Structure 1
Amino acid sequence: MKIRKGDTVQILIGKDRSRRGKVVRVLPKTMRVVVEGLNMRKKHTRPRRQGEKGKIIDFPAPLPMARVGLICPHCQKRIRVGYRLLADGRKERRCRKCDGSIN
């Protein structure tokens, strides 16, 4: 997965287009991400106890990964991810524009 939890992403399509936020959760099976404070939805809840009122809860809904672009922490631009093998055998994510490390 090219996008991980904690990455900064930019929304490409929809009502929150061009806004940036931090990835809170990645859902690999459905290829979706949850971005903090973006793509907010409202959920109406019923009262649980007698005398309690119902509530409207705001929560961030998952977005398809194709609708977000990764932001490089060094050059602050939307990028594509490249990979490089390190000497100890680990794989490192790299920015293809400025060649900076994303990990």
Structure 2
Amino acid sequence: MSAMKIKKGDTVKVIAGKDNGKEGKVLAVNAKDNTVVVENINKVTKHSKPSAANQQGGIITKEAPLHISNVMLVVDGQATRVGFQMDGDKKVRVAKKTGKVID
């Protein structure tokens, strides 16, 4: 499996789907399914029965996963593709649009 180009904590822009054009922070990355959960993006309503954890039950809104191909990393306010470079003996992410090292 190749390295993930988007990591938890990154700011991303949605490029496809119902939330096209919106930006948010990545809350979780699932490398196995190639999905990301983005803050306040792809909100779904879920009906939950009362349980020990949730005494009240009812309708809950939460973020659903998006496929990683539907989001783009935002660096300096611009959506950009991500590449990799070797920085000495360390592999780092690089913004394709600016050539800037991300982390």
Same fold (TM over 0.5): yes
Q: What do the CA deviations read for 1:27-61 (whole angstroms, capped 9, x no partner)?
A: 11110000011100111112348xx6531111100
TM-score by length of 2: 0.87
C-alpha displacement of 1:94? 0.8
Distance 1:84 1:64 in 2: 25
Aligned to 2:82: 81
Distance 1:55 1:86 in 2: 51
TM-score by length of 1: 0.87
Distance 1:92 1:54 in 2: 45
Distance 1:96 1:54 in 2: 46
The structure number with the bigger radius of gyration is: 1
Q: Structure 1: which 5+ residue stretches go unaligned?
A: none
- CA RMSD between the two structures: 1.5
Distance 2:51 2:98 in 1: 54
SS of residue matched to 2:26: strand
Q: Indicate whether 1:14 and 2:17 are aligned.
A: yes
Aligned to 2:96: 96
Aligned to 2:70: 67
Of 34, 37, 41 in structure 2, the residue corresponding to residue 34 of structure 1 is: 37
Aligned pairs, number: 98
Runs of 4+ in 1 over 4 A off after TM superposition: none
Taking only the aligned residue pairs, the percentage that are identical comes to 40
Q: Structure 2: which 5+ residue stretches go unaligned?
A: none
